[in-house]
């Protein structure tokens, strides 16, 4: 028990000395206003919190994510090719891809893919 108490006190003493030395030797100054202010999300807190944002870019990004997730849903169809009947696999693939193409046509028809507007 005495050995454990001695080791714990030595470790505690070494860690306190290291923290004290690091606080003395560090070049950090607390007088600098910019360094002591909050820094959130990469934006300067002194400027306006509302920066202009392209809604069109956001829509394109969301459409890309939706179609990307749907394409990843097609990947298991390759692995079940050997264990399923070929007719049903092609029918499900055709149905899924046709839904994707109808969605793409709808987005194109609504003008969501037009960048210059």
Q: What is the pTM of this model?
A: 0.45
Per the CB < 8 A criterion, the answer to whether 111 and 74 are in contact is no
Residue of higher predicted confidence among 53 and 100: 100
Say if residue 17's pLDDT is above 90.
yes
How much is the pLDDT for 69? 85
How much is the pLDDT for 8? 94
How much is the pLDDT for 107? 82
How much is the pLDDT for 83? 82
pLDDT digits (tens, 9 = 90+) for 39-96: 556 655 565 556 677 777 888 888 888 888 888 888 887 788 778 888 888 888 888 8
């Amino acid at each position: 028990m005495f050995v454990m108490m001695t080791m714990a006190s030595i470790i505690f003493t070494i860690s306190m000395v290291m923290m004290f030395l690091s606080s003395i030797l560090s070049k950090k100054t607390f007088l600098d206003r910019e360094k002591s202010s909050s820094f959130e999300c990469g934006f300067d807190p002194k400027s306006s919190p509302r920066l202009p944002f392209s809604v069109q870019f956001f829509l394109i990004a969301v459409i890309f994510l939706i179609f990307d997730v749907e394409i990843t849903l097609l990947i298991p169809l390759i692995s079940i090719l050997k264990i399923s009947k070929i007719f049903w696999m092609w029918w499900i693939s055709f149905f899924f891809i046709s839904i994707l193409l109808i969605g793409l046509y709808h987005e194109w028809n609504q003008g969501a893919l037009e960048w210059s507007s």
